[in-house]
A and B are shown apart, each in its own frame.
Chain A
């Protein structure tokens, strides 16, 4: 039975969609970790006491799978400290005390781009990585043979509750998106561009349609705006009518998927030479009185960011990078805005409260609502027996951890957690 790409009725709470974004410029300090992307941490090129401006390079890429980092405020490098990433790794972080000027680095000019190599080098230099959340270096992702890869899919679906940063980028930065896509078309040899936008974003769809009309081979498709239709699996299927085979990348079936903010930030660099130093962050959650989409400097603490939009309505129980379905909790409000931080949410105890766990009652909600057709209840039982063979047969490794199962489970079983553990167990057994 073909039974995938289901969605679940999570309330989308896009509270900030209709308010214009606000730029945050009055910042005290920023703490910029050297690892905000997948790959090797960047290598610092500044030392304590150095004066930096907005756009000054403070760390260079270390190898191909890495990304340079630029100062997001003007001021003085006052500290280099340890930062614990969400994956449990300590990396250095550079602390800059801002001078309040927000002066920009002199001599930033648009890069010269006349070939594919020059374009990829420029993208690498821009400091842009996958800004939808994954943080995979974009210059590596786009370094494919576009003779065999026909389609560039631009993902503007943004289906997680609360988050509106891609939405704001599509409404406010259409020029940058167009500039980047035109350059991609010219130098990478992409034949077909599909911009997928959630059908709840009417203005974004119009904006994207308008710019697509000026780029040959570009089209806009409206996707269901229900959760989890923004997944790579879903958008690849909607854009190409092809199913992404398990364990394969989109490039294996002739497409590359990029988040729309990634494209816009590349466009800005190609146009102006200003590298990636600030990003759209949705500041929301049940504890935030006046939610707002903020253009925030990379490295600003969540404490400063939340204070910028106003006071908390109630004490946050959990604070999350990203959405409530797939986001990562932060240990304290001193955590910084990262390159990949599209949203920070302060969630109340009421919103995050899971009632008491009971035994699985086999209601089937997890299995029948999994967008990929996986059976979390069966995986949970197989994992309890540490039955690797059964876990492989249940194809647990296909799980994208969208959280639909655990969101619906009336027994409140930690299904996503178990899937993560089961995936790790399968991986371990294969080594």
Chain B
């Protein structure tokens, strides 16, 4: 008898990319913002991020253990969720609140719905929104040492009050806010990395950020102020890293453009007419819910067939 060979359906080769390599790329892309956050807000920022990451990975491990499911922490998605949650919180967030946020993100939003790929809203965003409405410490921004916190206002609030804000400060991030949201340069670096590695495409960040800029410009009639508004708050972090979450965003380029535009419009409406100063998280969360409908509307036309 001849030696038997491996029989399999085609294709017999693979590009080499995996779920974990994609998650690793996202982690790498978030490193500049994480480092900037620690430099700007001090070691407390590192503690918040580290606790969120550790708690997210720990809860996923425990959930899989208790539910007798295959262990999934090796896909690194829990690390991404933890990082994003930490970067979306002020450096002053108490540790126990971070742990509750991680518990909600991983167990309630992700694992109870079936784990990675089955959650219909972004876990980090949803946890952040829960914390925002529950804990005053999360709603209040942290300020870097040396920055006058007496005014108690982030650039977004100051701009809304008609004050102007220095663009360089916005780019460097030396102002009040959440750990990972203030340094625009670090976030844009991460964006370029994700594009270069073909992890995300341009449609969602560009339509999201672009539409906020356009709406702000229409309201303010001042391009510099619109730009300052665009670089403020959680817009870049949300548009680049949270709205582009594969699981909770549309699949096709057309769908992504619609999704980004919707996020931009909602962010603008909440910022100008809502009771919260910032609307990025709410906007993404709301748009997450309509993804199945956007997907349905924006299917590809199939070669030689009707629109599916």
Contacts and interface: CB of A to CB of B under 8 A. Distances in A.
Interface of A: 1-5, 10, 161, 233, 243-246, 248, 303, 316-320, 324-334, 345, 347, 351-356, 358-364, 367-368, 370-375, 377, 393-395, 398, 401, 403, 406-408, 410-412, 414, 416-417, 420
Interface of B: 2-15, 17-19, 21-22, 72, 75, 77, 114-118, 246-247, 249, 251-254, 298-305, 308
A416 B118 contact: no
Q: Which 9 pairs, one residue from A and one from B, show the smallest C-beta to C-beta distance?
A: A403-B11, A373-B300, A332-B2, A359-B117, A364-B251, A372-B303, A4-B303, A324-B13, A246-B304
A161 B10 CA distance: 13
Contacts of A244: 303-304
A162 to B, nearest CB: 10
B247 A420 contact: no
Contacts, number: 176
Nearest to A353: B14
Nearest to A322: B10
Contacts of A372: 302-304
B24 to A, nearest CB: 11
25 contacts: A3-B252, A233-B304, A243-B304, A244-B304, A303-B2, A318-B6, A320-B10, A326-B11, A329-B12, A351-B12, A352-B13, A358-B117, A359-B115, A360-B117, A361-B22, A361-B77, A361-B246, A362-B247, A373-B302, A375-B251, A393-B308, A394-B308, A395-B305, A407-B14, A411-B19
Given A246-B303, A412-B14, A414-B9, 4 more contacts: A246-B304, A331-B4, A352-B6, A395-B305
B10 A316 contact: no
A256 B218 CA distance: 57
Nearest to B13: A324
Nearest to B77: A361
B117 A407 contact: no
A358 B75 contact: yes
Contacts of A161: 13
B18 A327 contact: no
Question: Interface of chain B, helix or strand or loop or mixed?
Answer: loop
Contact of B13 (A243, A359, A407): A407
B21 A410 contact: yes
B183 to A, nearest CB: 27
Contacts of B4: 331-332
A398 B246 contact: no
B17 A417 contact: no
A365 B31 CA distance: 25
A329 B11 contact: no
B118 A359 contact: yes
A325 B13 contact: yes
Contacts of B19: 358, 361, 410-411
A325 B298 contact: no
Given A329-B7, A398-B305, A334 B13 contact: no
Contacts of A319: 5
A276 B253 CA distance: 49
A368 B249 CA distance: 14
B13 A410 contact: no
Given A246-B304, A334-B2, A377-B251, A359 B11 contact: no
Contacts of A4: 300-303
A258 B86 CA distance: 60
Contacts of A243: 303-304
A416 B7 contact: no
